[in-house]
Structure 1
């Protein structure tokens, strides 16, 4: 009897440890969203207190200086600022940002929500064959949500291209050599005021 009781205690202890260990192992590593840079770029804090800049994959929000740029940033903030998220994807862009889908603890895909609500385009150059995302964009267009209230919204990649071209043109204009004109220098005699000139 004592032996059976002892083995039940051991079994209970092993099950309890397995349960606790199993729960911590299956829990996803959530990262806290600590900053919203713009609609499609956030900063997360890892468990070891490292800040990681994340560019939301497959979508492109209006730039902050574009129409609906600030609204997109606010939408992203309302959706995930201060919350725990997990990232799907670990590629990096040329700026060193992590490119990922951002998933809230409840399973909400932040990237897709932005497109669904008309605050982002599907970034077709980097989102090939994603029929679901294309469908969300088409639905937002039909319902005239967010940026689709404008009759002809400018995609951010075209806006950025225009900004780069304008900057390049301005740089070329400021670096153009000045034409040196030959100026006739006044002689010192011409600039001396005599008493007769004062009248």
Structure 2
């Protein structure tokens, strides 16, 4: 375990590490981790973007993330926070080999597992926060999920979460600028 941790840490030079138990799942790409001091930390999974709650597959992405990580010990490698003050980090199960449920996956990489199941996009906009190896693995996993038509790729034209959010903001701006005449 120590050797694996050192290997992972070596791949993410300058990254801080957070160890804890996943005690909450907000949506398909955000979890809450409780550390050993019982301090909760909101974590945004780096390198992925899952459908929003009101989008098709949004609920399934949240359920899959819960099946993969809820109640499990994880290690988070991170070096930044987003505008919502969430830690943006690479999340791995602390002991993936010990997992004995059907939702288990061998790599222990939670974000990669969501992409492989077709429930998240590789979020290329923020891929600079990933190692070169992770960028490659995430991009290949998305290509494979698309070709297998896994999860959201079953839809003829799935809408990426960043486009969905942008469209909702534009709709809200149009609605607020419309003057109602009675």
TM-score by length of 2: 0.78
Paired position in structure 2 for 1:94:
83
**Quick check: 1:104 aligned with 2:97?**
no
Q: 2:65 is matched with which residue?
A: 76
| 1:1-199 mapped onto 2 (5 Å cutoff) | 30-105=19-94, 106=96, 108-128=108-128, 130-173=135-178, 176=179
Deviating above 4 A after TM superposition, structure 1's stretches of 4 or more consecutive aligned residues are: none
Contact 2:18 2:77 in 1 (8 A): no
Structure whose residues are more often strand by fraction: 2
CA RMSD of aligned residues (A): 2.0
For the pair shown, which has the larger CA radius of gyration, 1 or 2?
Answer: 1
SS in 1 for 2:62: helix
C-alpha deviation, 1:131, in angstroms? 1.7
Q: Which runs of 5+ in 1 are unaligned?
A: 1-21, 180-199
Q: In the TM superposition, what whole-angstrom CA distance separates every residue of 1:108-143 from its partner, at most 9, and x where no partner exists?
A: 000110001100000111115612111000000011
Structure with the bigger RCO (C-alpha within 8 Å, sep 6+) is 2
